[in-house]
Structure formats: structure tokens, C-alpha cells
Amino acid sequence: AQSVTQLDSHVSVSEGTPVLLRCNYSSSYSPSLFWYVQHPNKGLQLLLKYTSAATLVKGINGFEAEFKKSETSFHLTKPSAHMSDAAEYFCVVRGGTGGYNKLIFGAGTRLAVHP
């Protein structure tokens, strides 16, 4: 069965410093992995996705994530945090095969950015 574990429920950084949001996955086959962001009172927005192509995936707003099979990790990073990055971030793995496009969500990491 597929699952994801987000290792930190809250992360706090200063503006201009690097961001690291950690995610480990469990999958019985080559997974498809996603990071979504949810701003307050907004819907979920796709940041980036990994689907067995390049292991370093670049997303929107300067975010990127690296798929490391040996560590079963898919950590999200950004070199320099901006105030507008404050939001909830979800690591997601595709859980189904064939036509069943099931997404399994992690518990989320709330990112706070301080001036």
C-alpha cells in the first residue's frame, strides 16, 4: 500500500532563508509524487510532480523537490523564503493503478515565514 509521511507538522523560517519540508513515502512500485500548497481560505494548488522522469523536479514559485529512491524521500526545498510562501504544504502519492487515479495525502506541514 502507498503512504506518505510528512516529518514536520510546523516549520518556521525567516524571510530570505532556505526552506526544507520533508516527506518520506512508501510504495510497492515506482510512485508518482506531488507537492500541493494550500493558502488560507484557498483551494489546493499543484506545486510540482514527479512521474519517473528527472529526479530533480522544478515547480512554480521557485520550489523544487528531489526524488531519492534509496531514501524513499521527496523533500521540498526553496533557496529563499518569501512572506507569500506561508501556507500549508501537502506531500501526496498516487495510490491507485490503471484508471483509478487515487491520491493519498500526507498530514501537511504548516510553513510560517517571519520578517
Partner 1 sequence: EADIYQTPRYLVIGTGKKITLECSQTMGHDKMYWYQQDPGMELHLIHYSYGVNSTEKGDLSSESTVSRIRTEHFPLTLESARPSHTSQYLCASSGTGEETQYFGPGTRLLVL
Of the pair 15, 110, the CB lying nearest partner 1 is at: 110
Give dist(CA 82, CA 7) in Å, integer.
22
Give dist(CA 95, CA 104) in Å, integer.
6
Per-residue cell: 14: 525567516
CB of 80 to partner 1, least distance (A): 27
SS3 (DSSP) at 87: strand
- By CB under 8 A, the residues from 73 to 92 that bind partner 1 are 90
46 binds partner 1 (CB under 8 A): yes
43 binds partner 1 (CB under 8 A): yes
Per-residue cell: 89: 504544504
Binding site for partner 1 (CB under 8 A): 32, 34, 36, 41-46, 49, 51, 90, 94, 99, 101-103, 105-108, 110
